[in-house]
Structure 1
Amino acid sequence: MPHDTSDYRLDEIDRRILHALMDDARNTSASTLAAEAGVSGATIRNRIHNLEDAGIVRGYTAQVDFELAGGKLTNLYLCDVPVTEREAIAHEARAIPGVINIRTLMTGRRNVHVLAVGESTSDLRRIARQLTDIGIHIEDEDLVEEELFAPYGPFHPDDGEQTPEANDFISLSGDASVVEVTVQPDAPIADRTIEAAAREGILDEETLVIAIEREDLELTPHGDTVVQPDDIVTILSRAGGDADALSAFRAPPSESTTQ
């Protein structure tokens, strides 16, 4: 389902996916990510589609060594373009044969960076002339020797065993909060209906289940809805989403951790 980028809020699962895709999109496996995050493979695939629909993941590109690919030259042009014309000129520059990447900056001089590939220095001079012809002032240029990439560090999941407190947390007025949490396999609420969980005291009166994400489905919960392991459940907690509110969705601590 498409999302407006202003409304899409990243949670722990989304951040884990983004880090893995930035690190190595080609070899990122939905099943591996699912096992690490404690959710199903279908949930991971659904989240990737949502990130793409929201425009957060814009595409997947190959990193090519053009020197090895036939001895080609990669050149970076640092350019100055009037701010009011920057967007239009950037699109024109993108159409020039050999141009492979354009980066526009918000303010200041050298506010457009153009990356281009040529067979020879004469080819790079031809690209420079064409950039000048469309109104781009080239302030400096140089051959690119190496370009390194790395995933965004804060998206990396914490090391060690993953037992997330909550995927996402929103504080409301008073002590209330909206919390998103993944149901662990041995959680008290797993395989019970919401009505039964409330009757048995697993869900307290201060906690209301308001949404369930299951694989590629978004469910509206009712009393007879069975909460399943790996469900991503959104709850409204009038007690502030404290440990008691989340305990229904977590596996009980093992004896080794309680001794």
Structure 2
Amino acid sequence: MHEWPRETRTDSSYRVDEIDRRIIHALMADARETSAPMIAEEVNVSAGTIRNRIRRLKEHGILTGYHAKVDFERINGRLTNLFMCNAPFEKREVIAQQVRALPGVINVRELIGGRMNLHVLAIGTDTDDLHRIGRSIAELGVEIEDEVLVQNEWDVPYAPFGPDDQPLKPPTDFISLAGDSEVVEVTVRTDAPVAGLTLQEAGRRDLLDEDVLIITIEREGTVLTPHGDTEIRSDDVVTVFAQAGIDDGALDAFLGEEAS
């Protein structure tokens, strides 16, 4: 098991979009065998973008580590046991950290409510070893309400973050304002007509509607204030304001050939 340092940021300022969700889904399915180029091909962005997104998800405390799945029963018949415990509410977090340090414990889960507010998963060489772990837990001031041997356990990726029956479309978030005005965030595709052009060049080529205003451009974690000579690049997250609303085709300049 590998966990990243705890100094990662856990603020809520980072906005997870469709690309981030697909990255999380792929890593949950198989973090060790899934590479950035594989995810990039699936979501139609560059491998560099995927690596940057993974780094940012780590920095903001969303991705916390990679965890190996082990069948301990195949290792000399070791036993996996789940202890369901009641820890004093005011001491629960401290006790959870103490329980984590006990030999044989591989997972500790704190619950918000109920008597069994602390679940402890432990591995023992035999039943005597599990009893030893149970006594160690109890000595920390925890009451073991129940315990069971775990036969099987399966993890699956979070389905709402995965692909659906349709090809992935660039993430867009619409916000309706007073009247017909709308603000939308859209990720620029590699084959988008505006990719590689400055705002002035895009305007001269009539790629942008007259009532469309680009408010910000987010690029690799940095938010840019666009000017006429600002170049629009693929994978940029562009915030667009439209006084008369977003009509069909208004975003085609950012979406490329696969725009709907």
Task: State the TM-score, normalized to the length of structure 2.
Answer: 0.87
Is 1:197 the counterpart of 2:202? The answer is yes
Q: Secondary structure at the match of 1:141?
A: strand
Contact 1:211 1:219 in 2 (8 A): yes
Contact 2:10 2:62 in 1 (8 A): no
> What is the aligned residue count?
252
Structure 1 residues 180 and 38, CA gap change in structure 2 (3 angstroms): farther
Contact 1:79 1:137 in 2 (8 A): yes
Could you tell me which residue of structure 2 aligns to residue 116 of structure 1?
Answer: 122
Structure 1 residues 87 and 185, CA gap change in structure 2 (3 angstroms): closer
Residues 135-172 of structure 1 deviation map (CA, whole Å, 9 limit, x = unaligned): 1100111111111110111001222433x1x4131415
Could you tell me which residue of structure 2 aligns to residue 180 of structure 1?
Answer: 185
Give runs of aligned pairs for residues 136-215 of structure 1, distance below 5 A.
136-162=142-168, 164=169, 166-171=170-175, 173-174=177-178, 175-214=180-219
- Is the deviation greater in 233-242 or in 8-17? 233-242
Give runs of aligned pairs for residues 1-259 of structure 1, distance below 5 A.
4-162=10-168, 164=169, 166-171=170-175, 173-174=177-178, 175-214=180-219, 219-252=224-257
Give the CA deviation at 1:251. 2.1
- Is the deviation greater in 16-25 or in 212-221? 212-221
Structure 1 residues 159 and 40, CA gap change in structure 2 (3 angstroms): same
Give the CA deviation at 1:12. 0.6
Structure 1: any 5+ residue segments left out of the alignment? Answer: none
Task: Give the root-mean-square deviation of aligned CA atoms.
Answer: 2.3
User: How many angstroms apart in 2 are the aligned matches of 1:146 and 1:245?
Assistant: 51
Amino acid at match of 1:133: E
Task: State the TM-score, normalized to the length of structure 1.
Answer: 0.88
Q: Secondary structure at the match of 1:140?
A: strand
Q: Secondary structure at the match of 2:75?
A: coil
Residues 219-249 of structure 1 deviation map (CA, whole Å, 9 limit, x = unaligned): 4432112223343333233344443431211
Give the CA deviation at 1:217. 6.2
Residues 94-135 of structure 1 deviation map (CA, whole Å, 9 limit, x = unaligned): 111111100111101111100011112111111111111111
Structure 1 residues 51 and 253, CA gap change in structure 2 (3 angstroms): closer
User: How many angstroms apart in 2 are the aligned matches of 1:253 and 1:43?
Assistant: 19
User: How many angstroms apart in 2 are the aligned matches of 1:4 and 1:142?
Assistant: 34
Give the CA deviation at 1:218. 5.4
Identity among equivalent pairs (%): 52
Amino acid at match of 2:64: R
Structure 2: any 5+ residue segments left out of the alignment? Answer: 1-7
User: How many angstroms apart in 1 are the aligned matches of 2:113 and 2:123?
Assistant: 26
Amino acid at match of 1:152: Y
Contact 1:77 1:114 in 2 (8 A): yes
Amino acid at match of 1:13: I
Give the CA deviation at 1:252. 4.2
User: How many angstroms apart in 2 are the aligned matches of 1:178 and 1:4?
Assistant: 27
